[in-house]
Amino acid sequence: MALGLAKESGADHLVKADGNEVEAVMQLTKGFGAEAVIDFVGERGSTKKGLAMTRSLGNYYIVGYGEDIQISALDMVTTERNIIGNLVGTWADLNELMSLADRGLVHLATVEYALKDANQALQDLNAGKVKGRAILVP
């Protein structure tokens, strides 16, 4: 797994999630942390790490789920970070989807973008140019 640090022109750096990803993000951002973090895992410590690499006034987006998010109210207030949940379905939905996919009954409309083209993908999504899902490929 890799983490992309994006700027206006796309991702400038990739950070491998190898146990040192928080330190790597902090080093790349000169100690400030990332402006936005999207956590597609939501378990096994990813929420703690995701929040740790989110800068003050930054946004932590949680998509995956499986563990509780633990942060003190004082930390939330003093850093003014936002935690934003993104519901993509229930466990039952996921199990049903995997069963259908296993039987070859799921056909997804997708458009792939290189990670460096992440901003173009967002612009295309916003403009309604993407049918189905946009996929970032590292």
Q: What is the pLDDT of residues 42-52, one digit of tens each?
A: 899 999 999 99
128 located within any domain: no
Determine how many CB atoms are found less than 10 A away from the CB of residue 53: 24
Instruction: Report the domain count for the chain.
Output: 1
124 located within any domain: no
CATH number, domain at 40? 3.40.50.720
- In the chain, % of residues over pLDDT 90: 49
107 located within any domain: no
The more confidently predicted of residues 60 and 101 is 60
CA atoms within 13 A on the CB side of 135: 7
What's the whole-model pTM score?
0.61
Distance CA 135, CA 121 (A): 8
**Confidence (pLDDT) at 63:** 87
- In the chain, % of residues over pLDDT 70: 92
Q: Domain of residue 60: give its range.
A: 2-88
35 located within any domain: yes
Whole-angstrom distance between the N-terminal and C-terminal Cα of the chain?
Answer: 9
